[in-house]
A and B are shown apart, each in its own frame.
Chain A
Amino acid sequence: AQSVTQLGSHVSVSEGALVLLRCNYSSSVPPYLFWYVQYPNQGLQLLLKYTSAATLVKGINGFEAEFKKSETSFHLTKPSAHMSDAAEYFCAVSDGRSGGYNKLIFGAGTRLAVHP
């Protein structure tokens, strides 16, 4: 069975500092991996996705993630945090074999706080 673990339910950084949000997955087949961002009282917005084309994936708002098969990780990074990055971030995995149904397994989420 697939699963996703996000290490750290809360992460706090200073404005301008590096953002690192951790995601580890388990999957018996090559996975499809996604990062989503959620602002308060809103839905989830896709930041980026990994679909095996390249191990370093660039997304919106300056975020990127690197797929490391040996570590079963897909950590999200941003070189310099901005106040507007404060939100909750979700990592998700799909096995891509859904036969018409695209099931995503979500991590529990990491709340990012950015302070001046």
Chain B
Amino acid sequence: DGGITQSPKYLFRKEGQNVTLSCEQNLNHDAMYWYRQDPGQGLRLIYYSQIVNDFQKGDIAEGYSVSREKKESFPLTVTSAQKNPTAFYLCASSIAQGGQPQHFGDGTRLSIL
């Protein structure tokens, strides 16, 4: 079955440390997205990518970085510059066309040690 795989499920970060969240999809979608979810705030867009080797900042990109070297993969790095990284992170993908639904992975929960 096609889908989106996020790993790890749970991740812990020490102060001053960068951590990378993995997102892989086998849906053959061109567009991929990273969201941050905090209680009571819905989903906020961090970065998105429409095509390989191209990505754009979303609404809350500060303290995060991404790469898109392969169509299937869109890893997110939470850098030490992100002062409040504790959240649930969701990766999604879609057909690169307006009005299409996004398909989501099961998320990674990041906590600070």
A-side interface residues toward B, CB under 8 Å?
A: 9, 32, 34, 36, 41-46, 49, 51, 90, 94-104, 106-109
Contacts and interface: CB of A to CB of B under 8 A. Distances in A.
A96 B40 contact: no
Interface of B: 4, 6, 30-31, 40-43, 45, 48, 50-51, 56, 88, 90, 92, 94-107, 109
Nearest to A98: B98
A18 to B, nearest CB: 25
A108 B101 contact: no
B105 A43 contact: yes
Main secondary structure of the interface of A (DSSP, over half): loop
Contacts of B43: 44, 90, 106
A104 B102 contact: yes
Contacts of A106: 42-43
A46 B100 CA distance: 11
A109 B94 CA distance: 21
A51 B99 contact: yes
B90 A101 contact: no
A108 to B, nearest CB: 4
A43 to B, nearest CB: 4
A43 B96 contact: no
B42 A94 contact: no
Contacts of A95: 98
A45 B30 CA distance: 19
> Among the interface residues A32, A34, A103, which one has the most CB atoms of the partner chain B within 10 A?
A103
